[in-house]
Amino acid sequence: MEEISLKAQEIFNLGSFGVTNSLFSTLAVSLALIMTAFIARSKIKLVPGTIQSGVEMSAEWLLGLMEGMLGSAKKAEQYFPLVATIFLFIMACNLSGILPGVGSFFIEQGGQDVPLFRSPAADLNFTLAFAVISVIMTNLIGMAAAGVLPHISKFINFSNPINFFIGILELVSEFAKIISLSFRLFGNVFAGEVLLTIIFFLVPYVIPLPFLFLEIFVGMVQSFVFAMLTLVSISLHTALHEEH
Amino acid sequence: MESGSIFEQLGIHWQLLLSQAVNFFILLIILRVFAYKPLLAVIKKRNEKIKEGLQKAEEAEARLKEVDIIAKKHLQKADQEAMEIIKATQKKAETLQQSLQKETEDRQKELMAQAELAYLRQQEQAKQLVFSQAMELVKKTIMKTVELKPEIIDEALIKKAVLQVKDEI
């Protein structure tokens, strides 16, 4: 059975920087998305075809959802790129891990066969980076919405002991968000990878199919959950300032 | 598993974290410029066109209603005018008929009078003729009688006799 590693494995070095199979997969997925964006851009028409209609429907659905949560179409359009990219990228990364053939490429590293690709979200560096980005971006959006000092006063407030304590709690909750977001995504995807590895080892044919479907579903749901939690966070930060 | 801090044990490395973050931001910028912007622009443009089309359709509908009302008004006016023209024509026709009738009656009366006059004239001429012929006949009768007996000729008496005959006629 293939060895299950909690950490992403290095596949080659760029100077002192070791490129892991997870980062390599991330780059591959990014490249695929960028190429798709370039191709899509040249094919966008006012009268849409089938694919464009599907993409537009998805975009309008997400915009509608964001408008409902943020309370305005302008805000929805403003934050759409961030939320959509988080959703798209995490989903593409999750689905890339279960593409046929992805697990078949190995590279020899230090006398061991190391998988060339690894589901990016099965590496804490990826999920943690996204969680940090999500939290930092939502706070920056909050600052942009109401100003730096009013936003910081939410975390550091000496007006009275209760507000000070609430501020501390808010600060802790921001760090908790990073941990919860990163470990939720990592846990789900890594558990799926482990489950699939074990099932493929035990029964290589037919039986893994439902688990593959389950992983597709989990991959999509987790990307949606991540994007929605970011959206909720944006909504809370901007709505709180509007109240003030 | 490597011994060390929890970050090392979980394989978290700041360089990898930074790489992932940079990768994400590059992707975000590229997708924003080359995918979301044109896509949202085309959706917006289409929505505007649809909105504009609907607005124009509403305007056209309103205009159509206005035109319909104007057309109905025109038709009503035309109907009224036609009715007035028909009434006026009928009235004119009646007047013309009456005048023609009167003219005909007058002409008829005139003709009747002329005919009566002609009849009376003819009657008078016939009477004159009968009278002269009767006078001639009486004269000839008397002359025949006188030839037989000349002493009884009396012109005045003959004339008196003739006048009496005329009166009787």
Give the residue extent of every domain in chain A: 10-243
Tell me the percentage of chain B whose pLDDT exceeds 90.
56
More confident call, B13 vs A144: A144
* DSSP per position, chain A: -PPP-SSPPEEEEETTEEEEHHHHHHHHHHHHHHHHHHHHHHH--SS--HHHHHHHHHHHHHHHHHHHHHS-HHHHHHHHHHHHHHHHHHHHHHHHTTSTTGGG-EEEETTEEEES---GGGSHHHHHHHHHHHHHHHHHHHHHHH-HHHHHTTTS--SSHHHHHHHHHHHHHHHHHHHHHHHHHHHHHHHHHHHHHHHHHH--SSTHHHHHHHHHHHHHHHHHHHHHHHHHHHHHHHHHHHH-
A132: chain B residues, CB-CB within 8 Å = 17, 21
d(CA A145, CA A241): 7
Task: Write down the pTM of the prediction.
Answer: 0.73
CB A13 within 8 A of CB A19: yes
Which of B19, B45, B48 to mutate to probe the A interface, most A CBs <10 Å?
A: B19
Tokens of A95: 């689905």
Q: Rounded to the nearest 5 degrees, what angle is found at the Cα of A219, between the Cα atoms of B29 and B16?
A: 50
- Encode pLDDT of B134-143 as tens digits: 888 877 887 7
pLDDT mean over A32-43: 89
3-state secondary structure A16-51: CEEEEHHHHHHHHHHHHHHHHHHHHHHHCCCCCCHH
User: Closest by alpha carbon to A133, among A20, A1, A233?
Assistant: A233
Q: In this structure, is residue B145 part of a structural domain? A: yes
* Contacts of the segment A139-148: beta carbons below 8 A, 24+ positions apart: A139/A174, A139/A237, A141/A79, A141/A234, A141/A237, A141/A238, A142/A234, A142/A237, A142/A238, A142/A240, A142/A241, A145/A237, A145/A238, A145/A241, A145/A242, A146/A241, A146/A242, A146/A244
**Average pLDDT of the segment spanning A36-46:** 86
pLDDT level of residue B156 (50, 70, 90 thresholds): confident
- What does the block give as tokens for A32? 């695929």
Residue B87 lies in a domain: yes
B80-102 mean pLDDT: 95
State the average pLDDT over residues A217-234. 94
Please state, in angstroms and as integers, the Cα–Cα distance from residue A189 to each residue in A91, A192, A227, B2, B49, following that order. 11, 5, 16, 22, 44
Rounded to a whole number of angstroms, the distance from the CA of A85 to the nearest CA of chain B is: 6
Rounded alpha-carbon distances, angstroms, from residue B1 to B4, B8, B9? 9, 9, 7
Q: Which one of A24, A42, A124, A125 makes the best mutation probe of the B interface by having the most chain B beta carbons within 10 Å?
A: A125
Q: What is the pLDDT of residue B2?
A: 46
pLDDT of residue B63: 94
Phi and psi at residue A107, in whole multiples of 5°? Answer: -135, 140
Residue B1: inside a domain: no
Q: Is the pLDDT of residue B23 over 60?
A: yes
Give the one of B16, B31, B36 whose C-beta lies nearest to A23's C-beta: B16
Which residues in chain A have their CB less than 8 angstroms from residue B11's CB?
A: 6-8, 20, 123-125
Its domain, for residue B146, covers 6-168
Chain B residue closest in CA terms to A124: B12
Q: For residue A81, give the nearest of B36, B38, B45 by CB distance.
A: B36
Q: Rounded distance, CA A69 to CA A190, Å?
A: 30
Q: What is the pLDDT of residues A83-120, one digit of tens each?
A: 999 999 999 999 988 888 777 788 877 777 778 788 88
Proportion of chain A above pLDDT 70, given as a percent: 97
Residue among A142, A100, A137, A112 nearest A241 (CA)? A142
More confident residue, A10 or B133: B133
Query: Domain total for chain B?
Result: 1
Amino acid, res. B163: L
- Across the range A207-212, mean pLDDT stands at 90
What distance in Å separates the CA atoms of residue A81 and residue A83, rounded to the nearest whole number? 6
In chain A, the residue whose alpha carbon lies closest to the alpha carbon of B15 is: A17
State the Cα–Cα distance between residues A18 and A12, nearest whole angstrom: 6
What confidence tens digit (pLDDT) does each residue in B34-59 have?
A: 889 988 898 889 889 999 999 999 99
